[in-house]
Amino acid sequence: MKRKTRTRRQSRPRFEGQKSPRPFRGWYAPSLEDLLAKDGEIIRPSYLPEPELSFAGRQTCEDPRTGLTAYGPYSKTDATRREQIRIGIVGPAEAVDRANRFLEQLSRPIDQSGDVDAILHPSFPGVNAGEPFQCQFVTQGIWQRTMRPGDVGLVEKHPDFRTRIGLLLGFVVSEIRALCELDSRPDVVVCAMTKSLEELCRTGIAEYDRDQRRSSEADSEGEEEISAELARSFRRGLKAACLDLVPTQLLWHRTLAGTAGVQDLATRAWNLTVALLYKAGVIPWRLSDVIEGSCFVGISFYHEDESASPFLHTSIAQAFSERGDGFVLRGDQLEWDPQKHKEKAPHLKQEQAKRLLSRVLSAYKQQVGTLPRVVTLHKTSRFTPEEQAGFEEALEGIPQYGLLTITRRGLTAFRPGPKPVLRGTILDFGERLGLVYTTGYIPFLRCYPGFRIPQPLEITENWGSLTLTDAARDILRLTKLNWNAAAFCSRDPITLAFAKRVGDILKMAHGKEPALHYRYYM
């Protein structure tokens, strides 16, 4: 094997008449004016074909729903095959009944309306023992826990929004714990809500925030403490409380009842099915054209709300293998004062960066059985020399790697004619930097499934051995690993798309050791 040489830190691009930026004084990337002012140089676009996904029997297709309908999930012909997925249900009696009926609907085909695009909004084939899934969602009375009417009434009648959310969370989590104590426990627990509880979970947020701004007084003595983040999101509190229990799926009344403003029944069935499959350990699809032994990592930070210091942040890494395995790891805590450091985004010291990425590689080896051959690391802020050195120390022995900063600065481009820019278009700025269009016109769908002008991602730093084309291909692939839905693709790569959501959940875990697998955070 060819020995990897350490990549020297690249110099940031400079253009005629432009002064060098002061080192480490904040984010720097070439301005649009600088890029357009480069003499004798034309920025030429190129196009990357749509990444393909692998389904049962290693059959490939670009679109998740088309591939699942034609071939079935990847696990159908893999060691991860499951014939039944045990579903638990928790909620008020009315909501539990609705959830049962919804699961019954998922077992049968759901035809799409004839006046919609059959490719953009396909019919749902049904999840049952037959084709294409050869898998069933199973529930029974022992896996269903209804909230006591008195507990529901206590939540509905309490006038304080903050306390109301805390009560509801406490009642729901206690029922989930009871399910987890069963000898034959469910694989996933669905938390179903009634219309009144959904409205009460949402009504009061604005009033609560205004009260918090008016007064910073502590809660009265003896009153149960419930964090501000808990008041803002029942979902985050639910996920945080269940990190050591079981993957959960929250179903609001509007989703169960199909009220105005929600997606059609077939689309809701697709999205819920993919989420439940992945949370139960079934792999819906895998990337088909990626190097075996690839590891994709996203680095982000969250602020510890309950800490004594307002500047205390914690680093987290979200990592994904080419097989679709996802895991979350918490790193070191660090103090970061934006005014002192002249930069809002926190940065790791060398040893902290090395330690965090080393933990990722160790977890990858534990899950896959060997160290990765290629590691791609994504951040939304620049790499300091200390961070780069720490990450590269952890990567010693890894044949290929890339350390990428991915941002969105509002740069865009237009193609001739009335059609939007093609998804997969890249614009090379030189120095292995440029734009990557993860949204835009999609030939397979014969349309642009968006409402605004497509905005590209920008690779503003690229250290290591990956070319711009390599980095762009990886980004496009990672936009197709969102198992929260069955959409063709997402706007951001999975390494960064849910970083804030994961951080918000860990905030509310109050120091609890985070669950390793990503399915607990979905």
Residue pLDDT, tens place only, 350-370: 999 999 999 999 999 998 999
- pLDDT score, position 81: 94
Q: At what angle do helices 265-279 and 64-71 cross, to 10 degrees?
A: 80
| Eight-state DSSP code of residue 115 | T
Statement: residue 137 has pLDDT above 80: yes
- Regarding whether 324 and 347 lie in a shared domain, the answer is yes
Provide the domain count of the chain. Answer: 2
**Residue 333 φ/ψ, nearest 5 degrees:** -90, 150
- Regarding whether 200 and 177 lie in a shared domain, the answer is yes
Tell me if 22 is assigned to some domain. no
State the amino acid at position 362 in one-letter form.
S
- Regarding whether 148 and 42 lie in a shared domain, the answer is no
CA nearest to 431, candidates 55, 161, 35:
35
- Measured CA to CA, the distance from residue 54 to residue 478 in angstroms comes to 14
8 A C-beta contact, residue 482 and residue 497:
yes
Least confident window among 193-207, 271-285, 372-386, 393-407? 193-207
Tell me if 312 is assigned to some domain. yes
- Regarding whether 75 and 36 lie in a shared domain, the answer is no
Percent of the chain residues past pLDDT 70, beyond the cut: 86
Long-range contacts at 257-263 (CB < 8 A, ≥ 24 apart)? 257/98, 257/195
- Measured CA to CA, the distance from residue 256 to residue 247 in angstroms comes to 19
Statement: residue 172 has pLDDT above 90: yes
- Regarding whether 268 and 313 lie in a shared domain, the answer is no
pLDDT in tens, 85-128: 999 999 999 999 999 999 999 999 999 988 888 889 999 999 99
- Measured CA to CA, the distance from residue 373 to residue 363 in angstroms comes to 14
Tell me if 357 is assigned to some domain. yes
- 394-418: average pLDDT: 92
pLDDT-based confidence at 17, cuts 50/70/90?
Answer: very low
Last residue of a domain, one of 232, 252, 279: 279
8 A C-beta contact, residue 135 and residue 462:
no
- Regarding whether 65 and 41 lie in a shared domain, the answer is no
Tell me if 13 is assigned to some domain. no
Write b or e for each residue in 251-284: b if 16 or more Cβ atoms lie within 10 A of its Cβ, otherwise e.
bbbebbeeeeeeeebbbbbbbbbbbbbbbbebbb
- Regarding whether 186 and 62 lie in a shared domain, the answer is yes
Tell me if 360 is assigned to some domain. yes
pLDDT in tens, 40-70: 567 789 999 999 999 999 999 999 999 999 9
State the amino acid at position 287 in one-letter form.
L
Tell me if 16 is assigned to some domain. no
What tokens were used for 214?
A: 């008016």
- Measured CA to CA, the distance from residue 457 to residue 440 in angstroms comes to 12
pLDDT in tens, 221-234: 333 333 334 435 78
State the amino acid at position 291 in one-letter form.
I
Cα–Cα–Cα angle for 158, 159, 163, nearest 5°?
65
- Regarding whether 421 and 394 lie in a shared domain, the answer is yes
Tell me if 4 is assigned to some domain. no
What does pTM read for this prediction?
0.86
Last residue of a domain, one of 232, 250, 279: 279
Last residue of a domain, one of 224, 253, 279: 279
Residue 453: CATH number of its domain? 3.30.420.10
8 A C-beta contact, residue 147 and residue 173:
no
Statement: residue 284 has pLDDT above 70: yes
Tell me if 6 is assigned to some domain. no
- Regarding whether 324 and 270 lie in a shared domain, the answer is no
Statement: residue 238 has pLDDT above 70: yes
- Regarding whether 375 and 266 lie in a shared domain, the answer is no
CA 271 to chain centre: 14
Q: At what angle do helices 149-157 and 161-180 cross, to 10 degrees?
A: 160
- pLDDT score, position 305: 62
pLDDT in tens, 291-338: 999 999 999 999 876 666 778 899 999 999 988 889 999 999 999 988
Which residues are 47's β-sheet partners? 425
pLDDT in tens, 201-218: 765 444 444 444 433 333
Statement: residue 31 has pLDDT above 80: no
Sign for the CA dihedral angle at 359, 362, 368, 371 comes to positive
Percent of the chain residues past pLDDT 90, beyond the cut: 68
- Regarding whether 486 and 385 lie in a shared domain, the answer is yes
- 484-513: average pLDDT: 89
Structural domain that includes position 63: 55-279
- Regarding whether 294 and 274 lie in a shared domain, the answer is no
Please compute Rg for the chain using Cα positions. 24
Statement: residue 385 has pLDDT above 50: yes
Least confident window among 227-231, 403-407, 442-446, 498-502? 227-231
